[in-house]
Amino acid sequence: MRPIWLKLLMLITMVAALQAMVGLYYQRVWVSSEFRTIKYLRKLYGKKDGIFFFGDSVLRYTAPQDSDTSSIPEMLQQELSDPVHSLDGGAFQMDMYASLMQTLAARGTRPKAVLVPINLRSFSISWDCYPAWQFEKPKLLLHSERSFLVRTFAKPLLVFKAIHLTPISSKEYWETPVLIAGKDVGSMKFVHDTYLVSPDPAEKRAWFLKLYYLYKLDARHRKAAALQKLADLLRREKIPAHFYVVPLDMETGQAALKDEFTNQVRENIGVLRKVLAEQGHELHDFSALLPSSCFSYPANVPDEHLNQEGRRRMAAALAPLLKGGTVDGP
Amino acid sequence: MLFNSYEFVVFFPLVMLFFFNLPYGARPLFLLLASYIFYMWWRPEYIILLLFQTFIDYIAGIYIADSKSPSRRKLFLALSMTSNLSVLFFYKYFMFFNSTGKALFELLHLQYPVPYMEILLPVGISFYTFQSMSYTIDVYRGETKVERSFLIFSLFVTFFPQLVAGPIERSSNLLSQIYERQAFDTRRLVHGLRHILWGLFKKMVIADRLAVIVHSAYSDPHQHKGLPLLVATYCFAFQIYCDFSGYSDIATGTAQVMGYRLMCNFWKPYHAQSIGDFWRRWHISLSTWFRDYVYIPLGGNRVSRFRQHVNLFVTFLASGFWHGANWTFIVWGALHGLYMVCSLATQKWRDKLRARTGLERWPRFLALFRVFVTFHLVCLGWIFFRAQSLKDAWYITTHLFSSLDPSRLLNLGLTGCELGIAAGCIVILETVHLLEQKHPLKELLDSVPMWVRWPMYVGMSLAVLNLGTVTEIPFIYFQF
């Protein structure tokens, strides 16, 4: 008669062994149904060349009137001999980039260079805390790509709530206080219901700009921490990286909010520059690269989406970084 | 702390490890501390309420036992009742009465003087309050010995496996067990772990899966009509059963591993052949509580027939109110009270009908028919229990058969495959219930060889680990 602890151990071992197979099955199901980027990512495992271009929807967005619908990476590709691999997705931000890069690095991928756009809006509450843009499942899936244990136990960990796919609930999001230049102006819901639906287009535009860019960035912000993690990883892996601030519609911002807008944007960029400098990286500031005419707003409020001309000029500004030439700044 | 959380997966083995390695004398204190940690995991500040109620009932119990004068005994019992019910009233019912009062004042165009207050309901308050109250009543009646050790009494009120959702234990059952010296027992461990696994399966695989369908239909019933509402109502019947009995199974199993026997809280309730039978099988610890502390003191069935009916109705109304401060629960309780009264009132008539139609010659068919009718009466009650308002409940009740298009079922949030898993799990559940009819499952499992048992354990473990839902669905009875 075997002792009970031995029987329990045997039972646990059997469950764990079968769980490893179930884990593989789940990963396959998730990859096919939820996160197609990973299929593309897998093609890049082990590559020692090419330019990896992270990004959000700005990379691919096209304005309705555009005759050339090429994305920024495609336009950039025209100027470079190295293949440009775009690793982008709608609302992707720093912790997604960090997770993607960790997975690639763990799989022995060493690109020739990495382009990391920093969208200043991604640090704002409206993006950073937006429940649908937390990307917990893709991040978990990416983690499972580089860890056998995570792959095996991802589902049980989710089922037993050790990992939450929705770390921020809608209720929490709407209750989050909005700080404009350090001043509490009310909850997200209050700001939304009071200012963002204003019938006066100028007021509405001004409030969107405030919400998107007039936060006071702290180096301890979780997205800044993710930026630091990514920068650290790239430094350790000796992968050349180019971090840049994506262009903003500074003209509209300046017109709506005067110097307050420019000053706050500059201050926040300063914080990011410092974070990157600590990891030995430089930050290229393209925030004021483009005039208003280069932007196109899908939601009719000022953001960073570009039209054909904007994308072309953005690609042109990035090309010298990768060719090792001088930067075509503003 | 939730039983179906990773915290409990760590907490429970640790508690076991320390429990069985500590000297017997130190175990109650250790279990009490573990129970407080278990409770405080949710909201540490509400431990004060638990301590307050424990202290009041401990003192009241001693004074009741030591007082010679009946009036003093009554006074201390009243003190215990008042303090328990006041706390319960404030945390559970104040908002309900406040909003009802406000609505009434507004109807009469009067200024309502009480401000709006949002009060968070302490988890498990109805359970531990009733358990603690039953002790003082039993001491008053002389049915239980007074407990003079504050530590032991606190553990009786706070014992973590049953603290937040029952079973509502009686002092006569649990208190004496705390004094027993529980040695580690392999058989008990195996039986306890089996109970836990079965409970987790019911909660995580069946209840939480069905919850998706139920939530989809009941959160906005006006978007649905016909079959989806009907199916969601059947699903809720199984959801609430698996959710609550699953919790009770985990609680029983957890206690069993440590050597404590908790009372059986559910016994195949949907196999009941009458509403009375249903209440002897559903949430047994609560229905016996209401029987012993409300129905019998009201006179029970030792009074006139009319008075007995009133007593029954009042008891069920109180049971409905115990579940929650909402008109839907009150109507649910009233409906069951009405069922019981009608059942008693028509007993003779139904007996005659059975004899005339000759149905008694087919006892199996008759039993099936009675199970079918009882189940559907219970389901009708569940509509009121689950609906968010009486208006919603009325809409659902009146639209159950308005469209029987099966394609609408796929609008309920589960894929065809998920629906298949849910249906398959209900079949497993009912198969187990049928098997239990002849032999207790424990004996049945013990009698089968290891190569049958182990694949079952492994399969169920894998089901629990993988088929549970990712979204957090708390145990339904936590809200009470």
- Kindly determine whether residue A159 and residue B469, on different chains, have CB atoms separated by under 8 Å: yes
Distance from CA of B472 to the nearest CA of A (A): 7
Q: What local confidence, expressed as pLDDT, does residue A330 receive?
A: 37
Instruction: Using an 8 Å CB-CB cutoff, list chain A residues near B9.
Output: 160
Residue-wise pLDDT for A24-69, tens only, equals 888 777 766 666 677 788 889 999 989 999 999 999 999 999 999 9
Q: What whole-number distance in Å separates Cα of residue B205 and Cα of residue B426?
A: 10
ipTM over 0.90: no
Say yes or no to pLDDT of B439 above 70: yes
**Nearest to residue A219, comparing CAs of A173, A270, A287, A177?**
A270
Residue-wise pLDDT for B359-394, tens only, equals 778 888 888 999 999 999 999 999 999 999 999 999
- Kindly determine whether residue B466 and residue A157, on different chains, have CB atoms separated by under 8 Å: no
Backbone angle region of B183, left / alpha / beta, with phi > 0 → left and psi within -120 to 50 → alpha:
beta
> Among all residues of chain A, which has the CA nearest to that of B3?
A160
> Among all residues of chain A, which has the CA nearest to that of B205?
A159
Residue-wise pLDDT for A245-260, tens only, equals 999 999 999 999 999 9
Q: What local confidence, expressed as pLDDT, does residue B180 receive?
A: 86
* Mean pLDDT, rounded, for B205-222: 90
Instruction: Using an 8 Å CB-CB cutoff, list chain B residues near A158.
Output: 470
Is B251 in contact with B262 (CB distance < 8 Å)? yes
Q: What whole-number distance in Å separates Cα of residue A150 and Cα of residue A142?
A: 10
How many Cα atoms sit within 13 Å of A98 on the Cβ side?
19
Compute φ and ψ for B88, nearest 5 degrees: -60, -45
A79: Cβ contacts below 8 Å, ≥ 6 apart: A315, A316, A319, A323
Is A295 in contact with A307 (CB distance < 8 Å)? yes
The shortest CB-CB distance from A160 to any of B4, B461, B471 is to: B4
- Kindly determine whether residue B471 and residue A26, on different chains, have CB atoms separated by under 8 Å: no
Q: Which amino acid is at B205?
A: V
Q: What whole-number distance in Å separates Cα of residue A11 and Cα of residue A2?
A: 13
Which of A13, A160, A163 to mutate against chain B (most B CBs within 10 Å)?
A: A160
Is B134 in contact with B293 (CB distance < 8 Å)? yes
- Kindly determine whether residue B204 and residue A159, on different chains, have CB atoms separated by under 8 Å: yes
Residue-wise pLDDT for A148-186, tens only, equals 898 888 889 888 888 888 888 899 999 999 999 889 999
> Among all residues of chain A, which has the CA nearest to that of B184?
A4
Q: β-strands A183-187, A177-180: how paired?
A: antiparallel
| Percent of the residues in chain B that have a pLDDT greater than 70, as a whole number | 98
Say yes or no to pLDDT of A325 above 60: no
Q: What local confidence, expressed as pLDDT, does residue B362 receive?
A: 85
- Kindly determine whether residue B466 and residue A155, on different chains, have CB atoms separated by under 8 Å: yes
Q: What local confidence, expressed as pLDDT, does residue A226 receive?
A: 95
Which residues of B does the annotation mark as catalytic? 323
Q: Grade residue A327 by pLDDT with cuts at 50, 70 and 90.
A: very low
**Nearest to residue A188, comparing CAs of A205, A204, A176?**
A176
Residue-wise pLDDT for A92-146, tens only, equals 999 999 999 999 999 999 999 999 999 999 999 999 999 999 988 889 889 988 9
B66: Cβ contacts below 8 Å, ≥ 6 apart: B146
Q: β-strands A84-88, A51-55: how paired?
A: parallel
Q: What local confidence, expressed as pLDDT, does residue B101 receive?
A: 85
Q: What whole-number distance in Å separates Cα of residue B179 and Cα of residue B73?
A: 27
Q: What local confidence, expressed as pLDDT, does residue B355 receive?
A: 83
**Nearest to residue B408, comparing CAs of B229, B235, B234?**
B229
Distance from CA of A197 to the nearest CA of B (A): 27
What single DSSP character describes residue A299?
T
> Among all residues of chain B, which has the CA nearest to that of A14?
B458
**Residue whose tokens read 């071992």:** A13
Say yes or no to pLDDT of A210 above 90: yes
Chain A interface residues (partner B, CB cutoff 8 A): 4, 11, 14-15, 18-19, 22, 26, 155-162, 164-166
B342: Cβ contacts below 8 Å, ≥ 6 apart: none
Q: pTM of the predicted model, to two decimals? A: 0.83
Distance from CA of A175 to the nearest CA of B (A): 16
Distance from CA of B99 to the nearest CA of A (A): 23
| Percent of the residues in chain B that have a pLDDT greater than 90, as a whole number | 54
Q: What local confidence, expressed as pLDDT, does residue B114 receive?
A: 80
The shortest CB-CB distance from A155 to any of B2, B457, B465 is to: B465
Say yes or no to pLDDT of A329 above 60: no
Residue-wise pLDDT for A290-304, tens only, equals 999 999 988 778 899
- Kindly determine whether residue A159 and residue B457, on different chains, have CB atoms separated by under 8 Å: no
Residue-wise pLDDT for B249-307, tens only, equals 999 999 999 999 999 999 999 999 999 999 999 999 999 999 999 999 998 888 888 99
* Mean pLDDT, rounded, for B66-76: 91
Query: C-alpha angle A225/A231/A234, rounded to 5°?
Result: 145
Q: Grade residue A328 by pLDDT with cuts at 50, 70 and 90.
A: very low
The shortest CB-CB distance from A14 to any of B2, B6, B458 is to: B458
